[in-house]
Structure 1
Amino acid sequence: MLLSAAVDRYLKVRRLGNYSPHTISNYGRDLRQFREHVAALIEHEPEATEITRELINKHLAALSLRLSRISVERHRDCLWSFFAWLDAAAGVTNPTRGIIFRRRAFPKIPRTVSAQEIAAMIAAEQPLESRGPHIRDHRALDLRDRAMLEVIYGSGCRIAEAISLNWEHLRGGMPGDVRVVSGKGGDDRIVLIGEPARDALRKWRCLAWSKDLGAPIFQNARGERLTARAAQKMFKERAERAGIEGRVHPHMFRHSCATHLLERGAGIADISALLGHKNLATTARYTHVNMACMKAQHAAAFPRS
């Protein structure tokens, strides 16, 4: 079996599972890069059975010259998953078996946005003339954007989870606690939002183009589900209007939610459940974000500080 055919089969199987489209896209890109590199090394289209441990090590070594350690580890994990599947599905010897990998790099400290900057973004309405001639649509789009900012910050959900929400996922069909369906890893969970987010959702729903329970909460002017790219563009534009330096993207709101909860005394286990982390070690990285805050709390609380 050609390696390219094996990759196509692998991605097809993963699409049927609980993998997000973003993960499938990353796996496909990583595996195509691997196939192209191997084809250049052996000077012909590779068969799946031709892949050796040496070829994998050469590929990872080449990646390490231009990518960060975290990115190389993602490629490595992708190859490990692919060849483990190929071994089980087609009986092809797994060339990654027995490879001793270096200790996993600790993720970089997440970049966050302050509560004041988030408030400025929520208030940063787009100029009227740039929204088109219809005042209602202008108001509706601003309310939609405010609601999305409030929900992602308030719940810590991922952008893919936010745009997949329907009106029916609000508890009882009304703004309140939100049920995230098929989050990362295919798990459902309940996330909590505060009164500002609930109020923003109520106001947005009054002007939403589609209010049916099965309709998406975050929709464009045609009532269609908003895309992740459109949401990212909205975050970027509102950050610029709020005068925030540097790039702001939706995942920074998720990091900010976790960081601000931790700073205000929330437990790591509670934050982990809210964010949908399967491993507490993933949540524990937020303890490294604001050491100054933690030192201040220690000085105030510890009797011999």
Structure 2
Amino acid sequence: MKLDDSLELYLKYIRYEKNLTPNSIRSYTKDILQLHGFLYSNNINDTTQLDLAIFRNFLKSIDSKKYANRTIIRKYSSYINYFRFLEENKLTGMQLSQFINVPRKRERLYTFLSKKEMEKLFDSMEVKDYLNNRKRIIDPQTRKHLSDLHKRNRLIIELLYSTGARVSEIENIKLKDIDIKKSEIRVTGKGRKQRIVYINHRCLYRLEKYLGEVRPGLSSNKKAGTRLNNLYLLLNSRGERLSSRSIYEIVRKYVKLAGIKKKITPHSIRHSFASHLLQEGAGIREIQELLGHENISTTQIYSHLDIKKIKEDYRRFHPRAKQGGPPIKNKQ
């Protein structure tokens, strides 16, 4: 089978039978297209021509690039699953999947914001201050447009911190998923699994302001007229669903404006959400449910985040570590 045809067949399989999310399908597609590009450059156009030596050279080229460990693991997993599909459907005579050893996952150091930094971020986002700090004079219509986008952006950061949701989950919130009365939102996570997340009173206030004052103007744009765009909570200035990439840029911009020097992403705010809950006494199991983690071991990384607090608690509560305890006698 031609490589392009095999990819088309595989994508149908993971979309309709495996029921993978659009984000996962995009990642698989990107990884396999990269593999196909390498195979084409080596005159391999068909799945029956797959060659172990050439594939090993491809893996070497992947390893030589400066990909993050997590990205390499994902790519290797993409190739294993793709080759298994080809093998199970007898589209290739080579058993390439058995020759792929997925690298071990490295321990990652998570970046997150402290409670004070989180408040600093929110304080810097007051609408009047944001607009008054702009260097050039703007006309009333432009000022209104910028104010509306700023209110939407403020809501995005409130949602990230209030819910602890992933950026893809925030991006895909539909109007029907929101229950204002219960202060709840239904999000769809990895593997299309749904869960309920909660919004605090500040986030609820921003949400109601956005729905009442901002979104109607965004949804009146031409491209928002499509039925699909009208389903989603967050829209861009053209009336289209706001993308994950745009949310990343929004977070990066406001963190910079707040004078915070850390490299912060939407996922960093998710880490902050979990870390702050833990510091306030929430249990690991409860945090696991809120984050939508399938495995408790994924959630347990947050118990190692705030080393400073752990040390402070040790010095405060351990009977032989308290300040002002009995002096240590010199050895004779």
TM-score, normalised to structure 1, is: 0.85
* Amino acid in structure 1 at the alignment position of 2:204: R
- Sort the Cα spacing of 1:137 and 1:95 in 2 relative to 1 into closer, same or farther, 3 A: same
Shift of 1:244: 1.7
Shift of 1:56: 3.4
Helix, strand or coil at the partner of 1:248: coil
* Amino acid in structure 2 at the alignment position of 1:187: K
Partner of 2:171: 163
Helix, strand or coil at the partner of 1:153: helix
- Sort the Cα spacing of 1:190 and 1:66 in 2 relative to 1 into closer, same or farther, 3 A: same
Gap runs ≥5 in structure 1? none
Partner of 1:192: 198
Partner of 1:148: 156
Q: What are the within-5 Å matches in structure 2 for residues 90-239 of structure 1?
A: 90-93=90-93, 95-99=95-99, 101=101, 104-122=104-122, 123-124=124-125, 125=127, 126-127=130-131, 133-134=140-141, 135-171=143-179, 173-174=180-181, 176-180=183-187, 182-210=188-216, 215-221=231-237, 223-239=239-255
Conservation of the 8 A alpha-carbon contact between 1:175 and 1:201: no
Please give the alpha-carbon distance, in whole angstroms, between the structure 2 residues aligned to 1:143 and 1:58. 50
Please give the alpha-carbon distance, in whole angstroms, between the structure 2 residues aligned to 1:230 and 1:263. 31
- Sort the Cα spacing of 1:58 and 1:69 in 2 relative to 1 into closer, same or farther, 3 A: farther
Shift of 1:167: 2.8
Larger radius of gyration: 2
Per mean C-alpha deviation after superposition, the further-off stretch among 137-146 and 235-244 is 137-146
Shift of 1:236: 1.9
Shift of 1:191: 1.0
Partner of 2:12: 12
- Sort the Cα spacing of 1:38 and 1:223 in 2 relative to 1 into closer, same or farther, 3 A: closer
Q: What are the within-5 Å matches in structure 2 for residues 230-249 of structure 1?
A: 230-249=246-265
Conservation of the 8 A alpha-carbon contact between 1:20 and 1:184: yes
- Sort the Cα spacing of 1:251 and 1:18 in 2 relative to 1 into closer, same or farther, 3 A: farther
Helix, strand or coil at the partner of 2:71: helix
CA distances 1:29-63 after superposition (whole Å, capped 9, x unpaired): 211222222333xx313321332444433322222
Conservation of the 8 A alpha-carbon contact between 1:2 and 1:45: no
Task: Please give the root-mean-square deviation of Cα atoms over the aligned residues, in Å.
Answer: 2.9
Please give the alpha-carbon distance, in whole angstroms, between the structure 2 residues aligned to 1:300 and 1:18. 51
* Amino acid in structure 1 at the alignment position of 2:236: N
Conservation of the 8 A alpha-carbon contact between 1:15 and 1:24: yes
Conservation of the 8 A alpha-carbon contact between 1:156 and 1:253: yes
Helix, strand or coil at the partner of 1:208: helix
Gap runs ≥5 in structure 2? 220-229, 322-332
Partner of 1:36: 37
CA distances 1:147-167 after superposition (whole Å, capped 9, x unpaired): 111111111111121121123
Conservation of the 8 A alpha-carbon contact between 2:79 and 2:97: no
Higher relative contact order (CA 8 A, sep 6+): 1
- Sort the Cα spacing of 1:272 and 1:49 in 2 relative to 1 into closer, same or farther, 3 A: farther
- Sort the Cα spacing of 1:194 and 1:303 in 2 relative to 1 into closer, same or farther, 3 A: farther
* Amino acid in structure 1 at the alignment position of 2:74: R
Alignment partner of 1:275 out of 291, 303, 314: 291
Please give the alpha-carbon distance, in whole angstroms, between the structure 2 residues aligned to 1:158 and 1:200. 19
CA distances 1:170-194 after superposition (whole Å, capped 9, x unpaired): 22x44702111x3221001011222
TM-score, normalised to structure 2, is: 0.79
